[in-house]
Amino acid sequence: MEKDPYILVIGGTNMDIGARPFGPLLPHDSLPGTVRRTPGGVGRNIAVTLAQLGHKVKMLTAVGNDAEGRELLSLGRELGIDLSHAMCLDGIPTSSYIFVEDNKGDIQWAVCDASASDQIDKEYISLNEDVIRGASAVLLDTNPPADAIACAAKIASDAGVPLFVDPISAAKAAKVSAILPYTTVLKPNKQEAETLCGRPILTMANAEDAVISLLGLGVKEVYLTLGKKGVVAGAAGQDLIRLPGFALHPVNTSGCGDAFVSAVLHAFLQGDSLRDKARAGVAAASISMETKSAVNPILTADALQERIKLVD
């Protein structure tokens, strides 16, 4: 491992385009509202947040050799992310994520074109094996193909590197099933956990059962986020932790899950307890939702520590 430890993030880098109407959403109609274009991608959001929290961060990702891709690489480097191993690909468009919120800021529909992320393949992962083995922790999102995810998880597991996994969507969560025994920390939301467990989560008891089931499949720690209902967290051999949702000045929920898992990883490296890691996640999510961007620039280690004091 390098003398200067780093976290490695493997996942997507997108250009996000978000729309919000001024009034209620109506089907089959054009509505007045706002449209914004911001850097995004689950992997990138997490990498940026971890850098803001004071960590050295490297990233394995891919963008197209187009205006958006070059802009995203430049912005990432300015924020302190080591992108020396990232791919900038000719003939492939940079991945994009288009979402529509309601007038309260909750995402209602979203579509992701993961053209570049699909190129984060097994060969690319294998070529960067030393980067994975040298990390203090690895964070995987599920934008890369399933065999690339499995390859990265196996390398991290063999090297004894803690592996954090964010399933990112119900549609892509199935890619995680094969790597659950290698996973140190899993952060699904309700829909993703339903995919992984194969049954609906309608009650808090269902959520607790889902966490227990995922732990039984070999995951060391699970943080099941439930939006306004909070989080259910579990670890092998420990009682489940339940924390309510928390918000002070909500503006936008996009990126809250990314902030949550970033803070859990930050707390994990500090050696915090299960409860304190869950509190850190809830606190970070509450800070995240106070901006229209996917990453709140005020989410620093000091800001997180102050917000944790309000979470019980």
CA-based nearest residue to 112, from 35, 41, 193: 41
Residue 149 counted as domain residue: yes
Residue 222 counted as domain residue: yes
- pLDDT of amino acid 1: 43
- Least-confidence region, from 33-42, 103-112, 185-194: 103-112
pLDDT surpassing 50 at residue 54: yes
- pLDDT of amino acid 312: 80
Query: pLDDT band at 67, cuts 50/70/90?
Result: very high
Helices (H), 91-179: 122-127, 129-133, 146-159
Locus of tokens 């859990």 = 264
Average model confidence (pLDDT) across the chain: 94
Q: Parallel, antiparallel, or unpaired: how do β-strands 7-10 and 107-113 relate?
A: unpaired
| Full residue range of the structural domain in which residue 104 is found | 7-308
Residue 1 counted as domain residue: no
Check if the beta carbon of residue 23 is closer than 8 Å to that of residue 103: yes
pTM of the model: 0.92
**How confident is the model over 169-228, as pLDDT tens digits?**
999 999 999 999 999 999 999 999 999 999 999 999 999 999 999 999 999 999 999 999
For residue 45, give the CATH number of its domain.
3.40.1190.20
- pLDDT of amino acid 3: 63
**How confident is the model over 229-266, as pLDDT tens digits?**
999 999 999 999 999 998 888 887 878 999 999 999 99
Query: pLDDT band at 46, cuts 50/70/90?
Result: very high
Beta bridge partners of 39: 15
How many structural domains are present in the chain? 1
Residue 175 counted as domain residue: yes
Residue 2 counted as domain residue: no
Residue 157 counted as domain residue: yes
CA distances from 52 to 8, 15, 107, 220, 248 (A): 15, 20, 25, 26, 21
Check if the beta carbon of residue 166 is closer than 8 Å to that of residue 141: yes
Residue 17 counted as domain residue: yes
